[in-house]
Structures are given as structure tokens and as C-alpha cells.
Structure 1
Amino acid sequence: MKLRMLGLTVAGAVGLSALSACKKDEAPPAATAAAPAAIKAAPLPADTPLPKDEAPAQEAPKSGGTIHGIVAFKGTPPAAAPITPGSDPNCDGMDLVDQSVHVQGGKLANVLVRVQGNVPGQPTTPPSSMVVVDQNRCTYQPRVQGAVAGQPLVLMNSDGTLHNVRGMSAGKQLFNVMQPPLKTKEAMPPQEADVIRLKCDIHPWMTAWVVMSPHPYFATSGEDGAFTIEGVPPGTYTLEAWHETLGTKTAQVTVTEGQQAQTSFEFIAAKGK
């Protein structure tokens, strides 16, 4: 199912009165037989269920070359901080530790790797697909992903409780969207936004990140540390690997038409860790 862009910036502040809405007695709306065929343009964000199988794939051109790499972590990763979920029964089953540094077998997940700056021949319009952020068991999913400037964010609430999504960048609030249970809304980040942090004031442990680029040449490392960026025009580029707490690393890579370029990044544990 394809969704039409609303192009709406949602702003505002969540008052303390909104916190009282996140209670057990907030009953989720009754399930409908089928979701509407599309989100219709409206003066305010539209609410509609979003199918679980909606594919938010990026639309990078398939010509050009491919960049493949691994993000490694050297040393002992910091211990995951425990999370106290509170008394909301809709949060049952959530992760009880913070996943800001997610290392398995010396490989680092949730690193956003992107080509720095503009790319010759890059698309002049953003992809028609939307960037989906789901709120499931009081956790943002995925935790880290990329987006092209001009792409709207689809903010999906799969929980039977009230959430809000506050988008912040460089200390400035970009939008603040209140989400009733089992509803979907949209927010349009400003073109100049770079790294956007998403927070829920009602469930303060909830955090996610959306890293913006002027083009679709980016990818997020998986649990095996691997990432792949496809359709990159031939040329020599600077790649940036961004992590929410460990900072950034850069590497030079040369892309050849129809070929796969290999690169790697390594983040190191802080001294004494």
C-alpha cells in the first residue's frame, strides 16, 4: 500500500496533562476489518492504521557501484544500563536494558554509514517511500535509521497506550506528535535537519535516531556489523560512520561502475572500560 506525503511539520510541547493519559484505563480503539486504502491529505496529521508489511525501503538508483563493509568494536563494550519500565502493562515484554552500544562478537550494530555531502548525479527528489518509526512494547523500532531530506516520517504506534514522539536536532525541537493507541501519524523534518533524536516524554527511556542525508546513499549496520550501500555513482567519496554515543569515524572509498568497494570501520572502547 502506498501512502501520500502530507508535508506537515508538527510542533508543540507535551504538557504534564498529557502524562495522565498514559494510564491503564485508556482503552485501545476497536479493530477495524481493514485499513483505509491511503492516508488522505488533511490540515492536521491523519490517523490511520499502517499495515505491518509496509516496506519502507530506500529508493537508491540500482546503477553505479556498491559499497560493502563491516563495523567492528575493539575492547570490552560498556555494560548495558538497566531500564525501569514503570507500571504501564502495555510495556510488558520490552527490553529492560539500554541498547545504545550493541556489540556481538566484536561487531557493532546501529551505526549509520553515509556518503558525506552531495553526490554528483544524485536524485533531485526524495524517495516516495516513507521512513517508518514503530513504537512497539514501549520501544522505538528501529533504533537507528537514515532518511533523505524531504522524506516524511511515519510515526506508528503499535501499542495499546498513549505515546508522543518529540523530535530534537542540535538542541532544537523540530516536532512533537501525540499518538493515541494503535494510530499512525506523520511528521516532516525541516530540510536542514541532520541528526534527529526521537524521545517519548511519557515513557522517558524510549530513544531512537534518524540521520538525514541529501541523497539515499546510506545504510545502518546490522548485528553482524555489516552494511551495504547500493547504486552509488562512480567516484571517490568520504564515508562517515555515525554512532549515537561513540561519535564518528571516516574512511575514503572509490566506487567503480558495476563493482563492489570494500571498507571497514573500528570503534574502540574508552580507556578503563
Structure 2
Amino acid sequence: MKLRTLGLTVLGAVGLSALTACKKDEAPAATAAAPAPAVKAAPLPADTPLPPEDTAPAQAPQGGGTVRGIVTFKGTPPASTPIDPGTDPNCEGMDLVEQPVHVKDGKLANVLVRVQGNVPGQSTPPPSSMVVVDQNRCTYLPRVQGAVVGQPLVLMNSDGTLHNVRGMAGKKQLFNVTQPPLKTREAQPPADAEVIRLKCDIHPWMTAFVVVNPNPYFSTSSEDGAFTLQGVPPGTYTLEAWHETLGTKTAQVTVTEGQEAQVSFEFVAAR
């Protein structure tokens, strides 16, 4: 099964502008002057609608075979890092720890598993459906997802506070989109961008990744470590499992029409 995907263009008006420093909220002391109430997230305003057919995940490719597997983690995961959200009341309810290596019961989440390179016989244009990154409670959701080269990437702000989305490829800035409360934008990175890191200068703990692939056969491991790639044409392929801090693992897989192949990956804690 392929993952929800990303690509980047500017939806409506794209503002490429830098921002700075970001915080979260804490309840004020009873004796302190009450701050202005938080603006609650609401449906997107009528001037920036996202048609349901554009935001729905793309349908899995038909025919072919299926690749299923589990991503595991051996050893003790790195300790999570506390987040100081500051005093932005719109961040209420966000996670207060940074946990790039998300392990539960020995299973590793947020690993992007993909078929490497071009797939023979696949000359279809990129999906018209949009890959959506939502800013919700001062957190990017999802943290890791895939996109086909050229697929539209929509940046959504569901919070009642200002954000920005800075897209980076290594140390190179690809775009910087201002996100007013309850607005959407679209951004388009260069065609050769492969791993795009998203960050917010206003809320500096916010991080997400979009892995851009030449074919639509990719999936992100869930909390139980599971991933599924559907509709893969028959053939022998190299699968890559990518993690934001642990690097990559590869494995060979042979796909047969109408059959299911099993492939698993194990990441090991640093010694």
C-alpha cells in the first residue's frame, strides 16, 4: 500500500517568507491578568476550501501483488526530549516530548518503506490527490509520509495561531510559507528534492518529513511497526526503509501477481 503522499505547489497565494521563534501555552496563575482566549480551530474559511476529492488519499494501484512487513527495533531506544511549549494557548493538548525514535513493544513507527527507483511499465502521471500536512495543536501531522514526484503538497493550519512551514533539503531552503490561522497553502519544491524536512520557526519543536519517490509504492510503518505496499507490479525490487535519525535499511523482494510477499526490517540501538 502506498502512503499518503506529498509534492509541493502554492495553493491560493503562496507566501515565501521567514518567521521566528515559537511557543506553546500554559494555564495562567489565578492572580495573573487573564490572556486573550485561545482561538479554537474551526473549519477552513470559505476562501480556501479543499474539495474532498482532492484531499482523499489516492487509491491503491490495482492488480499486481502485495508486500507486507514489520519494522522492529532492537535495544534501548534513545530517551525522549522534553518540549517547553511556552505560553501559546492554541498549543493546548500537544505532546510535551520529542520522540523521533518511536518504539512500542519493540516495534518502530514512522519508517518510510518504499520501492526504490523507477518501476518498469509505470509511466502514469503523479496522483491528482493532494498530500496534506496538518498543523494541529502546534504539531505537524503526520510526522512522516511519502509523495510521488510532482504530487501536490498542501500545508494546512488547523490552529488559531500563526505558523510558518520552512521546507529544507539538508541545509538548503526549498520554500518558506507563512501560515495564518485556519488557512491553507501549497508549496512546490524542486523536482530533485528527495527528503524534505518541514520545520516551524515560530514553534521550533515542530518537525515533519516528506519523502519524495519516483513511483507510488511506499508506506509508513504504524505504531505496531506494520507497513503494506499494494498493487506492486510483478518483478524483483529493492525495498528501502528510511528513518529520520536511524538511517536506512534495504532488502530484496520478489512480487508475484495476486500474491503476498513478506519483508521485515530491524533497526538496532546505537552502542
Query: How does the TM-score come out when normalised to structure 1?
Result: 0.84
Matching residue of 2:147: 147
Contact persistence 1:49–1:183 (CA under 8 A): no
Matching residue of 1:258: 258
CA offset digits 1:210-243 (Å, max 9, x no partner): 0000111000000000000001110000000000
Residues 1-273 of structure 1: pairs in structure 2 closer than 5 A: 7-8=9-10, 10=14, 12-15=16-19, 36=46, 48-50=48-50, 55-271=55-271
In 2, the alpha carbon distance for the partners of 1:190 and 1:211 equals 13
Structure 2 CA distance for partners of 1:51 and 1:106, relative to 1, 3 Å = farther
Paired AA for residue 133 in structure 1: V
Contact persistence 1:94–1:139 (CA under 8 A): yes
1:30 to partner: Cα distance:
10
Q: Could you list the runs of 5+ residues in structure 2 that have no partner in the other structure? A: 1-6, 26-34
Structure 2 CA distance for partners of 1:234 and 1:247, relative to 1, 3 Å = same
Structure 2 CA distance for partners of 1:30 and 1:80, relative to 1, 3 Å = closer
Structure 2 CA distance for partners of 1:61 and 1:109, relative to 1, 3 Å = same
Q: Secondary structure at the match of 2:121?
A: coil
Q: Secondary structure at the match of 2:263?
A: strand
- Kindly report the root-mean-square deviation, in angstroms, between the aligned alpha carbons of the 2 structures: 2.9
1:134 to partner: Cα distance:
0.3
In 1, the alpha carbon distance for the partners of 2:123 and 2:59 equals 9
Contact persistence 2:16–2:178 (CA under 8 A): no
Contact persistence 2:45–2:182 (CA under 8 A): no
In 1, the alpha carbon distance for the partners of 2:87 and 2:251 equals 45
Paired AA for residue 72 in structure 1: T
Structure 2 CA distance for partners of 1:7 and 1:203, relative to 1, 3 Å = closer
Contact persistence 2:111–2:220 (CA under 8 A): yes
Paired AA for residue 221 in structure 2: S
Q: Secondary structure at the match of 2:137?
A: coil
Structure 2 CA distance for partners of 1:31 and 1:109, relative to 1, 3 Å = closer
For CA contacts below 8 A with separation 6 or more, give which structure has more relative contact order.
2
Q: Could you list the runs of 5+ residues in structure 1 that have no partner in the other structure? A: 37-46
Query: How does the TM-score come out when normalised to structure 2?
Result: 0.85
1:190 to partner: Cα distance:
1.9
Structure 2 CA distance for partners of 1:246 and 1:262, relative to 1, 3 Å = same
Structure 2 CA distance for partners of 1:106 and 1:184, relative to 1, 3 Å = same
Single out whichever of 122-131 and 153-162 deviates more from structure 2: 122-131
Aligned residue pairs total 254
Contact persistence 2:41–2:158 (CA under 8 A): no
